[in-house]
Chain A
Amino acid sequence: MSTTAVAPAPARAPGVAEPFRDAAQQADAATLGMWLFLATEMLFFGVLFFVYALARSRLPEAFAAASRQTSVLLGTTNTAVLLTSSFTMATAVRAAQLRRHGAAALLLLVTAVLGIAFAGIKLTEYGLDYRHHLVPVLDFAFDPRLARGALAFFWLYFTTTGLHLVHLTVGVGIALAFAWREWRRRGARLHEQVEIAGLYWHFVDLVWIFLYPCLYLVQRA
């Protein structure tokens, strides 16, 4: 049996934490961790989409009538806002990778502002929904023949858009925090962290991409 000398621990690059060999391994692990989280998020929202599909297949008329009560103009505007914010986020990630801190900070700020605009439009919509008596429990009135299915639709509408809004709010907080850190150039591996924040942001966008036709476009024609 040969004895092997214990090699001294290699010096790590700044910003590389203990278990990792080098920056590349750490970045891969971090990205993998975010994807694992996103996989659990797929299940989280997936269940809601499943319930939606099931209820809609059983109550197609009521879902069509209920969907026509949503504001397609505000919903479409919001989709455009969110898709654009994904574009600005993708560009922010690129700016961070190019170490253009000022541009990255500005683009993250624009992304956060677009997120806030989305939330503002969504809350305005909730106000309109309330005035149109579409909020379950608080004030709900609908054509009695379709009321049961419409109630199911609006429960799902508020649950899904509400949970999406919570995710978006978290994303806005993350975008603002990284805008600040890019501006102050805080952190040795900032570009990798911004990239992971970007993954989360794009996922929130993905959820909305599917919510939009399910809630706003059921049977408009």
Chain B
Amino acid sequence: MSPPGSDPPLLLRREVLTWLALMALLALTAGSAFVPMGMLNLVVNLAIALAKALLVVFMFMHVRRGTPMIRVFALAGLMWLALLAGLSCTDFAVRFG
């Protein structure tokens, strides 16, 4: 992107491609929502949201470059959330059937 010997480029190919991928995924999820697929619509929407989130976390937030402790903290958030949701589901299933 820049001639050799000059400053390192400000725009990285990796980050531009990430942005383009995010835009493509957005177009895909918005478009697919208007195609009647029943329950598959929900699956596609959530899968695309997850894909976008992973792109942001790994490409923009650089979790992989962080220390192992940072990855543990990020995962701990998800684990607590899973515990909270899991136990709440049990409660709702038992009490309200």
Contact = CB atoms under 8 A, between A and B. Distances in A.
Interface stretch (A5-13, A81-89, A153-161): A81-89
Contact count band on B? 35 or more
Contact of A87 (B10, B18, B78, B85): B18
Contact of A42 (B19, B30, B35, B77): B77
B8 interface: yes
Contacts of B33: 72, 213, 216-217, 220-221
A89 B61 CA distance: 10
A183 interface: no
Interface of A: 28, 31-32, 35-36, 38-43, 46-47, 50, 54, 72, 76, 79-80, 83-84, 86-87, 89-91, 94-95, 98, 100, 103, 198-199, 202-203, 205-206, 209-210, 212-213, 216-217, 219-221
Contact of A98 (B10, B73, B84): B10
A43 B26 contact: no
Question: In the complex, which of the residues A40, A87, A203, A212 has the most CB atoms of chain B within 10 Å of its own CB atom?
Answer: A87
Contact of B26 (A83, A87, A91, A221): A83
Contact of A221 (B36, B49, B84): B36
B40 to A, nearest CB: 10
Nearest 6 pairs between A and B by C-beta? A39-B77, A221-B36, A213-B45, A42-B77, A87-B19, A217-B33
Contacts of B52: 83, 209
B56 A217 contact: no
B60 A28 contact: no
19 contacts: A31-B67, A32-B69, A35-B70, A35-B74, A39-B74, A39-B80, A46-B84, A83-B26, A98-B8, A198-B60, A203-B61, A209-B52, A212-B29, A213-B29, A213-B45, A217-B30, A221-B33, A221-B37, A221-B41
Contacts of B1: none
A50 B84 contact: yes
B76 A39 contact: yes
Given A83-B23, A86-B56, 16 more contacts: A32-B70, A35-B66, A39-B74, A42-B77, A46-B84, A54-B88, A86-B22, A98-B7, A100-B7, A199-B61, A202-B57, A202-B61, A206-B57, A212-B29, A213-B46, A220-B41
A41 B76 CA distance: 12
Contact of B49 (A36, A103, A198, A212): A212
